[in-house]
Structure 1
């Protein structure tokens, strides 16, 4: 078992994700941090985002056709992405536990979970 050090940089990254609360991209998180800590590198922020995600302290959202996003809410829940501005929002609905057991698998997969990304137009873009 590898023990991860809780570095100052890791704390800065976690605090930025928690402060932003907007499913930010790695670049947006980096820009937030570098504004106050100009000597932190982009690679350090990216590495810490991945480590925090692997540790379950934040959630990494893989967005088809877009940049990965990072979520401060780690429990199972769904998202919607605006087709105009690309922002990602939480969808308030019950998580469909056991959905994987309803799949007729023809490829030999052993399913371990699921993510759903809805798409639509956000209220700001509809104006």
Structure 2
């Protein structure tokens, strides 16, 4: 069955592509509703799911946090700031055969992997340096 893309679907896709920040569904909805106050949260969520199924965007799951939507659909790694929770792309080659080097005693069939690095982003690091400098003044 061929499903046509709706105006709302195009709007959601455009928003994810414009945000480029691994936004949550709520963040995407809040961005859209500012200019389109009549759009429902359910419409945004439904179209995010649809766009994922179509391969236009990718849903990324982050432990301990909300799912996020990525405009980059190719396999790549991410870093998450432990202070603010923002997610960033990591510039490194994707290791597509890493599963083959796992010693598995449980009969597990590996189908892929996600690696999430953690650290402190530049903005939070700068804020901390300013706070530290003020505390010592």
Q: Normalising by structure 2, report the TM-score.
A: 0.88
In 2, the alpha carbon distance for the partners of 1:9 and 1:106 equals 48
* Ranges in structure 2 where 5+ consecutive residues have no aligned partner: 127-137
Matches within 5 A, 1:78-89: 78-89=77-88
Give the match for residue 13 of structure 2.
Answer: 14
Indicate the larger mover: 60-69 or 97-106.
Answer: 97-106
- Number of the residue aligned with 1:113: 112
Separation (CA, whole Å) in 1 of partners of 2:81 and 2:29: 22
Give the distance between the partners of 1:56 and 1:109, measured in 2 at CA: 27
Q: What RMSD in Å do the two structures reach over aligned CA positions? A: 1.0
Distance between the aligned counterparts of 1:111 and 1:125, measured in 2? 36
Which structure's residues are more often helix, by fraction?
2
Matches of 1:76 and 1:104 in 2, distance apart?
Answer: 23
- In 2, the alpha carbon distance for the partners of 1:55 and 1:104 equals 34
Where in structure 2 are the equivalents of 1:86-97 lying within 5 Å?
A: 86-97=85-96
- List runs of 5+ in structure 1 lacking aligned partners: none
Which one is further off, 106-115 or 51-60?
A: 106-115
Under a length normalisation based on structure 1, what TM-score does the superposition of the two structures give?
A: 0.94
Deviation of 1:34 (Å) = 0.8
Partner of 1:56: 55
Alignment correspondent of 2:69:
70
Q: How many residues align?
A: 126
Corresponding residue of 2:38: 39
Q: Deviations over 1:87-119 (max 9, x none)?
A: 000000000011111112233222221111110
Q: Note if 1:101 corresponds to 2:100.
A: yes
